[in-house]
A and B are shown apart, each in its own frame.
Chain A
Amino acid sequence: MRPLLTAFGLIAAWEALVWLSGVPPYILPPPSRVAVVLIERFDLLIEQAAWTAAEMVLGLMLGLVLGAALAIVFAASAGWRRWALPLVIVSQAVPVIAVAPLLVLWLGYGMASKVAMAALVIFFPVVSSLYDGLRRTDPGWLELARTMNAPPRAILLHIRLPAALPAFASGARIAAAVAPIGAVIGEWVGASAGLGFLMTQSLARGQTPLAFAALVILCLLGLALYYATDRAARRLVPWQPFQGD
């Protein structure tokens, strides 16, 4: 309840600021105006939001799968770790926004380049969290497994991987929080649909309230994605209750 009240207070302050200062709506639209646009252009907004949501969800899934696969390969094979891990780290030194035009050039204006973009952004937190988790298995469990004559792949599958799931869950949460960044950057650089595309379009035409409305929807999408991922992540590790729940 309290966060809602805080948000309400901030919105009221914003409304008052616009009225008192007399800023024109194409610079800073008052919240009331944004709300009106939200209702009037709801069909358009939902249509674009569905597009962006699909990019975010597909990108998140692709990034989670690729990141998890790579982390497992790194944990299982020293050869891969030596050859490919430095590359993964270098790939993070390249600013994502600089790669975006290239992805659009290669994959086109459609959904594929945005999915790739989102996957690229979230891939690193997923790899590093799961890989860390896979390396931090309780040594007692590993010794127990050795006295049981367990082959390495069984240890990976039945001990190291489940033991790393809490770390993977943290990585997935971060991934869900940053996935919208990838999708929207992709849309800014070059797109034919989506909320980011709608924002650039409406800003160029001086329809600032519409851009704000798109931003509101984008926030809601990001929140929904985060909470959905958070719930799924908790289900993944039912044996680890969270403090403060």
Chain B
Amino acid sequence: MRSAHIVLDGHVVAENLSLEFPGGKTTCLLGRSGVGKTSLLRHLAGLLPGADAAGPVAYMAQRDLLLPWLGVLDNVLLGYRLRLDAAARRAAEPRARSLIAEVGLGDRMHDLPQSLSGGMRQRAALARTLCEDRQIVLMDEPFGHLDAVTRLDLQDLAARLLRGRTVVMVTHDPLEALRLGHEIRVLSGMPFAVGPVIAPSGDVPRDPGDAGLLALQARLIAELRRGS
């Protein structure tokens, strides 16, 4: 991403911003609420006026955005339905089914979203994001409103399923960034600046009890506090 200007409702969120994301790896953008993380991600997705998408992307928002009138399988295949391509949809169905099984919803294939718990809905949204089969995946605090343990489970699942894709995930949770990010960048200031690359050692998902990880978490929290 080069020389991006992001303006939201007349406020400059970021000026002349250039960022590189390593291919096939997960980059976590960490920042406090309101810093402009979501705007940055929406800019990358081509959802802000004047921005073009960074190529074909799969986008996972804070909310699961499941359509309440479609069952899990149809929700996961939504992209194919919306592109009005029945042949591709039929071809993608076995993959959709196996993704749904992988996120643990194999027995809820045709259930409506309203019958699922928050964690299950977010799993279905993850399966939908992956079913799009795009090289670039943008995720906006996808597990932000889940309880702590469910969040850890879903992080493990996401790390496993997102392997090999170029993922940009924004989050306000230092632990989440440390568990999932090959690289972590801290966003702070107004308009925000992006900090240097932090690359913790070890493969993702990292163990949340690891001493080195917890030390890094303390450092990140201190940095986030200072930045405001």
Q: Is the CB of B59 within 8 A of A147?
A: yes
Q: Which residue of B is nearest A150, CB measured?
A: B82
B82 adjacent to A239 (CB under 8 Å): no
Contact A148–B132 (Cβ < 8 Å): yes
A interface secondary structure, majority: helix
A144 at the interface (CB under 8 A from B): yes
Q: Which of A150-167 contact B (CB under 8 A)?
A: 150-151, 154-155, 158-159, 162-163, 165
Which residues in chain B, 62-108, are within 8 Å of chain A measured between CB atoms? 63, 65, 67-69, 78-79, 81-84
B63 partner, pick from A140, A154, A239, beta carbons under 8 A: A140
In the complex, chain B residues whose CB is within 8 Å of the CB of A147:
45-47, 53, 57-59
Give the chain A neighbours of B57 by CB distance below 8 A.
147
Interface centre among A150, A155, A163, A238 (most CB of B within 10 A): A150
CB distance from A168 to the nearest CB of B (A): 13
Q: Are A148 and B83 in contact (CB under 8 A)?
A: yes
Known: A143-B61, A147-B53. Is A154-B45 also a contact (CB below 8 A)?
no
Contact A162–B47 (Cβ < 8 Å):
no
- Verify if B152 is at the interface (C-beta below 8 Å from A): no
Tell me if A145 counts as interface (CB < 8 A to partner B): yes
B114 touches A (CB below 8 Å): yes
| A231 part of interface (Cβ distance < 8 Å) | no
Contact at B84–A141, with CB atoms within 8 Å?
Answer: no
Interchain CB contact under 8 A, A154 and B65: no
Please pick, from B56, B59, B63, B67, the residue contacting A162 in the complex, using a CB distance under 8 A.
B67
Interface footprint category on A: 20 to 34
Cβ-defined contact, B59 with A144, below 8 A: yes
Q: Does B213 belong to the interface (CB within 8 Å)?
A: no
Q: Is B112 interfacial (CB-CB < 8 Å)?
A: yes
Contact of B69 among A143, A144, A146, A239 (CB under 8 A): A239
Tell me the complex Cα distance, A240–B84, Å: 26
Task: Contact check, B81 vs A240: say whether CB atoms are below 8 A apart.
Answer: no
> When the two chains form their complex, are residues A158 and B114 in contact, meaning their CB atoms are under 8 A apart?
no
User: Residue A149 at the B interface, CB < 8 A?
Assistant: yes
Task: Give Cα A139 to B7, complex, Å.
Answer: 19
Measured in the bound complex, the distance between the Cα atoms of B35 and A207 in whole Å is: 79
Residues of B close to A149: CB separation below 8 A:
56, 82-83
Q: Which residues of B does A touch, CB under 8 Å?
A: 42, 45-47, 53, 56-59, 61, 63, 65, 67-69, 78-79, 81-84, 112, 114, 132
* A residues lining the B interface (CB < 8 Å): 138, 140-141, 143-151, 154-155, 158-159, 162-163, 165, 237-240
Report 16 cross-chain contacts, Cβ distance below 8 Å, ordered by A residue. Answer: A144-B65, A144-B78, A147-B57, A147-B58, A148-B83, A148-B132, A149-B56, A150-B83, A151-B84, A154-B81, A154-B84, A158-B78, A158-B82, A238-B69, A239-B68, A240-B68
Sorted nearest first, the 3 A-B pairs with minimum C-beta distance are A150-B82, A147-B59, A148-B79
Known A144-B61, A239-B69; 9 more pairs at CB < 8 Å = A138-B65, A141-B67, A144-B78, A148-B78, A148-B82, A151-B83, A154-B81, A158-B78, A159-B67
